[in-house]
Structure 1
Amino acid sequence: MSARYRCSYSSARTFCPSTINRKLPGVTDTLVTIGSGQQQVVNLANIYIKLSSIEERSVNQQELMLRARSEIVGRYLKEFPDQLRTSVNPVAAISGGGFRNSDIQFVIGGPDLDKLTKYSDALLAKLKTIPDVVDADSTLISGKPELRVVIDRARAADLGVRIGDVAQSLNTLVAGQKVSTFNAGTDEYDVRVRAVGQFRANAEGLRRMLVASQKLGWVSLENLVHVEEGTGPSSIDRYNRQRQVMLTANTKPGGSQAAVIAKLNEFAKAENMDSSYRTFLAGRSKELGRTATYFLLAIVLSFVFMYMILAAQFESFIHPITILLTLPLAIPFGIVSLLVTNQTVNIFSGLGLLLLFGVVKKNAILQIDHTNGLRKQGMERYDAIIQANRDRLRPILMTTIALVAGMTPLTLSSGPGAGTNRSIGVLVVGGQSLCLLLTLLAVPVFYSLFDDLARSRVWSRVNAVLAGVFGRVRRRAATAAASLLGLISRQ
């Protein structure tokens, strides 16, 4: 809400939305707080909505949030376009005292508040133009009436008044200071001391306040300060002792947080900010970037470890590549299954992708291992491939059907936590079902191509080099192990 309004106006403006919210399906209770939090911003109101259990309502939380934006927030924004700023967010599982539990939290930090206002306003206007963005807002709320006290330092020195005493006196008389507690039975109340409203709410009252002097005892503030009326931000946030402004936004269902963040970074570069200003992510946006980095690292390491284990099992450097080439085939089918079922790509679907890799790899291992076994028995490559695929078709179908049947309850679940379970189940069931036929056809083709490569002169030289390297590593490891065992036995 505009910073010039007081708590009574905020209360009147939030009463009607709170009443309408109770009429939404599945809403059981609403709680309105005004001026809550450490800063006690009186023009900031929060409406908390409690929903009935998911089994008792026909709509999910995301649908109710969309209705709240369109039916309630949209209505009041049209009625009071320059007075209200709204956002609809899920309540955080663990409240950490941040500004909002928003999908996007983009921070601009720097020394000068005027330039921060300029940069943040420009980026906020561009942020609102991104199609997948809703609830775009800023922590900087300007226009709050304020009284600025300018101290005449030379005059204060002549009167024997310290600058810190002026600041401490104003803080005590205007903001108030806790001096004691009052106990009433089992209840405890803070006792705060400050000036009465008629003195602290106007410039004349501030001028009449007294401050301690080392020379004269008590001196009126009008002898050493100038009080000016103006407007300013309702609060100034800081990080690492620098002022900062946070841009917040949510993404529409199906929207990509990563794409919005990439757009914001492009907009920030286009602003050509001074070198003393920087941008960074916070909250869920920051965690998303860290999670994506760690997840990509996990995928890379999984490929490395799978190759090492398969190379040891098959005693070949070429056959593991044949098996691992089947894994990328599962990715597009998994993504298609998510799109068809209106699921998003998130950390849970990423875990499902790792599970899908394991299942697809297992099928390829069955085919190639049996093919190699038949060739060792004297069969030609073509005949061995045909026979191995015929023999392994039944166990592959059996394990696939068993996996799909086991994951189906996750895709059809509707209780608490069903959203996370459904992402994993849909990706595994859809990806495995769709890529099964392609895998059965692709593995023999890859096997033939790489078997021809293994017989070439180039690969023979590469294989000899690799065998020599791994042989030396193996011998040194054996020597080190023998030495360690000898030391242990002598102990």
Structure 2
Amino acid sequence: MVSADSEFAAAYLSFTSDILNQNQITDFLTRNIQPRLAALDGVQKAETLGGRVYAMRIWLKPERMAALNVTPLELRAALVANNVQATLGKTRGTLTQVNLSADTDLRSVSDFQNLIIRRNQNGTVRLQDIADVELGADSYDTVVSYSGQTAVFMGVWVMPTANALDVMKAVRDEMEAINAKLPTGMQAMVSYDSTEYIQTAIDEVVKTLTETLLIIILVIFLFLGFSRSVLIPVLAIPLSLIGALFLMQMFGFTLNLLTLLAIVLSVGLVVDDAIVMVENIERHIEEGQSPYQAALLGARELAGPIIAMTVTLVSVYVPIGFQGGLTGTLFREFAITLAGAVSISAIVALTLSPMLGSQWLKQHKKISAPLGGVFDSFSGFYSRTLQGSLQHRPAVYLFWVVIALLTVPMYIMSAKELAPTEDQGVIFGITETAANSTIDQTVHYVNQADLAYRTIPETEFTFLLSFPNGGFSGMVLKPWNQRERSVFDIQPEIQQKLGQLSGVNIFPILPPALPGGGNFPFEFVLTSQADPEQMLQIAQQLVQKGMESGMFAFPPMVDLKIDQPDATLHIDKEKVAELGLDLQTVTRDLAVLLGGNYVNRFNMDGYSYKVIPQVKRIARLNPLDIEDLYVTGANGNLVRVADIAYVETHTVPRSINRMQQMNSVKISGQPTAPLDDVLTFMETEARNLMPQGYSIDYTGQSRQLRHEGNSFLPAFLMAVTMIFLVLSAQFNSFRDPLVILVTPCR
């Protein structure tokens, strides 16, 4: 099962200590940190990563159990029967009552060591006689490091409906309070915060907005001159933006990248109406009209065109906001904010601008603007060019037809992808290990990857999260203003360094610009009811075709791998019956010895932890060691596993993956060409290789691109239709709107 949650957390917090071990750090986080962070508004979950939860580990000694004739079933029964939590009830007197409890549970290592397994005429057998007891961890299959130092991480996921910036601000404030109360020797910090990139981007947009306003004011001054007429369109800008912000409040929108981008784009549009209105009023004043009459005439002349332009622009933006899927979700705020700003600007241009013009502007002749002469010269040049074009209409028509027809092949040939990849200041690494790797082997090789990360000068810190069958790592780069190279320059270098490692494959990837639900941009799925072996052969051929095309940064990964060593214990049922055993007892005993499953729990300082019996690692180094173990026989005697069974090894798939209730194989990779081109190429090659009964599907960004990549085309056609209808109503003609729509510059 694959979760629909984001693969990466919004932030990763690291906790290290020179005094406390991983068990102690994890326990402190579970008791004190995780509840506080999970309770913050907007936090979906705060999950400990790489922690080691306390557990009472009972490391069994098979040879001692055999010598003392202690069976696994007997051991388990003793643990279950003598480690219980009991409530006896309560006493009830005339005026008082008292709750009753009994000290029937085990709480310390010494309590478990002294647990009596058996007592008879031959003596007493305690747990410490057949096992080593320690307060350990429930799992040793996860190792975490932070810049080479052993650590415990905590990932913070933000709710889809929450504002990530507000949530992470609350997390940082909470972390400051937490740091003041950490145990001696423990350090905590926000290692990675994805909202830093968002905040930097927002700051850049705000900076761009400020620059845009200053440039617009300068342009207005250069073309209208230093007069009161400059103040009218300048005043229209904040009024229109305030109106747009009011609409954002009404719809529940936030200031984010998309709404700020809409505001930046709307600045030029909102001032456009006011400039046209003021310029028209100025023209009438220069012709001898009073400011009041000039304002009335100017407003009456431009009311229709401004309303038509506004309705036209709104007709283009609003359909985007009503799209479904990821596109509609992302651009709804952008489209409605932009449409709202344009609508408010039209109201301002038709009401406030004429009123201010009638009151502020004075009777005058032509005003000399700084670029008035340049503008007059350009107007003369435009008039001569237009006159020449009208004299050579066939050539103009031919040019228009060629340009119009070129839009079709240019659209088809344009590169397509879901969204451009951004420099978010981090490079993640997806670790792939051998099927039979242990955590020791994985850590040995990924530590070399950590050294490779730290050889990059732009690296600020690194992190590793390792498991026996894979892992996750990364390097967080210095802030953008402290480095000259981008992640796109650094990624090939680190990819080359990681490619030289042996024993493990680590694929450097960049986090997606949009939420995609996958690790790689390219995620291509083959589905069929065929056998996994046949599907793997076709997938491997397809991977080979992909590498020969040169469209991938490294060989694509195939999630179906038939390389998992598997050992089957073949039990001789005749011998089992002959010796008075039963299969349920045999398998239950082996599960106690090898499974690492918990029997029950014990209490420590108000929290319950698992009790896990398991044979020592030295007694289960390879499958053949199973034959030297003992299970419960008739009359409580022990029977050696080798006397009733033998081990056979073979290879099986690591996992059987399914999609849409069919067997599936996913091919994932980092494309170096546009994603649409890579998908098209692989689709063509797959259809040439796939037998009948196979089909193609996608996940992650690839699925979004294929399902929603063309969703703008219907919205575009709807916008064109709306524009045509609005212009038809404006001009009372079906021909005049066509002239406007077919003009290439439109």
Where on the TM-score scale, by shorter chain, does this alignment land: which range? 0.5 to 0.7
Return the letter of the residue paired with 1:138: V
The 1:259–1:309 alpha-carbon spacing in structure 2 relative to 1, beyond 3 Å, is same
The 1:211–1:303 alpha-carbon spacing in structure 2 relative to 1, beyond 3 Å, is farther
Residue of structure 2 equivalent to 1:69: 495
The 1:300–1:154 alpha-carbon spacing in structure 2 relative to 1, beyond 3 Å, is farther
| 1:52 aligned onto 2:471 | no
Give the TM-score taking structure 1 as reference length: 0.53
Per-residue CA deviations over 1:199-252 (Å, capped at 9, x if unaligned) read: 554444445668899xx9999866876531123343443335544321111122
Residue of structure 2 equivalent to 1:265: 683
1:105–1:246 contact (8 Å) kept in structure 2:
yes
Residue of structure 1 equivalent to 2:560: 140
Residue of structure 2 equivalent to 1:227: 647
Alignment equivalent of 1:120, drawn from 539, 546, 553: 539
Residue of structure 1 equivalent to 2:597: 177
Q: Which is strand-richer, 1 or 2? A: 2
Q: CA deviation at 1:157?
A: 10
Give the TM-score taking structure 2 as reference length: 0.37
Question: For 1:133, what is the secondary structure of its paired residue?
Answer: coil
Question: For 1:46, what is the secondary structure of its paired residue?
Answer: strand
Alignment equivalent of 2:711, drawn from 294, 302, 313: 294
Residue of structure 2 equivalent to 1:10: 442
Q: CA deviation at 1:323?
A: 1.8
CA distance in 1, matches of 2:616, 2:697: 43
Residue of structure 2 equivalent to 1:412: none
2:442–2:504 contact (8 Å) kept in structure 1:
no
Question: For 1:109, what is the secondary structure of its paired residue?
Answer: strand
CA distance in 2, matches of 1:173, 1:239: 36
Q: How does 1:134-213 map to 2 (within 5 A)?
A: 134-135=553-554, 136-149=556-569, 174-181=594-601, 184-185=604-605, 189-198=609-618, 200-207=620-627
The 1:305–1:90 alpha-carbon spacing in structure 2 relative to 1, beyond 3 Å, is same
Q: CA deviation at 1:191?
A: 4.1
Residue of structure 2 equivalent to 1:333: none
Alignment equivalent of 1:250, drawn from 665, 670, 693: 670
Per-residue CA deviations over 1:103-124 (Å, capped at 9, x if unaligned) read: 1011223442211221221111
Question: For 1:102, what is the secondary structure of its paired residue?
Answer: coil
2:632–2:638 contact (8 Å) kept in structure 1:
yes
Q: CA deviation at 1:282?
A: 0.5
The gaps in structure 1 that reach 5 residues or longer are 36-41, 331-359, 361-491
Residue of structure 1 equivalent to 2:464: 32
The gaps in structure 2 that reach 5 residues or longer are 1-432
1:3–1:43 contact (8 Å) kept in structure 2:
yes
Per-residue CA deviations over 1:273-318 (Å, capped at 9, x if unaligned) read: 341x433100111012222132222222222222222222222222
CA distance in 2, matches of 1:320, 1:108: 48
CA distance in 2, matches of 1:170, 1:108: 39
Alignment equivalent of 2:523, drawn from 82, 97, 105: 105
Q: Higher relative contact order by CA 8 Å / sep ≥ 6: 1 or 2?
A: 2
Per-residue CA deviations over 1:427-475 (Å, capped at 9, x if unaligned) read: xxxxxxxxxxxxxxxxxxxxxxxxxxxxxxxxxxxxxxxxxxxxxxxxx
CA distance in 1, matches of 2:663, 2:572: 26
Residue of structure 2 equivalent to 1:472: none
1:85–1:137 contact (8 Å) kept in structure 2:
no
Q: CA deviation at 1:50?
A: 1.4
1:182–1:191 contact (8 Å) kept in structure 2:
yes
Residue of structure 1 equivalent to 2:550: 131
Q: CA deviation at 1:187?
A: 7.5
Return the letter of the residue paired with 1:33: L
2:499–2:506 contact (8 Å) kept in structure 1:
no
Per-residue CA deviations over 1:385-420 (Å, capped at 9, x if unaligned) read: xxxxxxxxxxxxxxxxxxxxxxxxxxxxxxxxxxxx
The 1:66–1:220 alpha-carbon spacing in structure 2 relative to 1, beyond 3 Å, is same
Q: CA deviation at 1:168?
A: 7.3
CA distance in 1, matches of 2:572, 2:660: 30
1:207–1:227 contact (8 Å) kept in structure 2:
yes
Return the letter of the residue paired with 2:508: V
1:110–1:244 contact (8 Å) kept in structure 2:
yes
Q: CA deviation at 1:256?
A: 0.8
1:198–1:205 contact (8 Å) kept in structure 2:
no
The 1:305–1:244 alpha-carbon spacing in structure 2 relative to 1, beyond 3 Å, is same
Question: For 2:549, what is the secondary structure of its paired residue?
Answer: coil
Per-residue CA deviations over 1:341-391 (Å, capped at 9, x if unaligned) read: xxxxxxxxxxxxxxxxxxx3xxxxxxxxxxxxxxxxxxxxxxxxxxxxxxx
1:130–1:260 contact (8 Å) kept in structure 2:
no
Question: For 1:316, what is the secondary structure of its paired residue?
Answer: coil
The 1:92–1:178 alpha-carbon spacing in structure 2 relative to 1, beyond 3 Å, is farther
1:123–1:264 contact (8 Å) kept in structure 2:
yes
Return the letter of the residue paired with 2:687: K
The 1:202–1:74 alpha-carbon spacing in structure 2 relative to 1, beyond 3 Å, is closer
2:523–2:669 contact (8 Å) kept in structure 1:
yes
CA distance in 2, matches of 1:319, 1:211: 93
Residue of structure 2 equivalent to 1:311: 728
Return the letter of the residue paired with 1:306: I
2:499–2:505 contact (8 Å) kept in structure 1:
no
Q: CA deviation at 1:195?
A: 4.4
What is the root-mean-square deviation in Å for CA atoms of aligned residues? Answer: 3.9
2:459–2:475 contact (8 Å) kept in structure 1:
yes
CA distance in 2, matches of 1:50, 1:182: 40
Q: How many residue pairs are counted as aligned between the two chains?
A: 311
CA distance in 2, matches of 1:12, 1:289: 40
CA distance in 2, matches of 1:57, 1:17: 22
Per-residue CA deviations over 1:41-93 (Å, capped at 9, x if unaligned) read: x14233221122222222222222122113x12433xxx4xx44331112468
Residue of structure 2 equivalent to 1:351: none
Q: CA deviation at 1:269?
A: 0.9
2:553–2:670 contact (8 Å) kept in structure 1:
yes
Return the letter of the residue paired with 1:315: N
1:25–1:59 contact (8 Å) kept in structure 2:
no
Q: How does 1:443-462 map to 2 (within 5 A)?
A: none
Bigger Rg over Cα: 2
Question: For 2:510, what is the secondary structure of its paired residue?
Answer: coil
Question: For 1:129, what is the secondary structure of its paired residue?
Answer: helix
CA distance in 2, matches of 1:156, 1:240: 43
Return the letter of the residue paired with 2:480: I
Question: For 1:2, what is the secondary structure of its paired residue?
Answer: coil
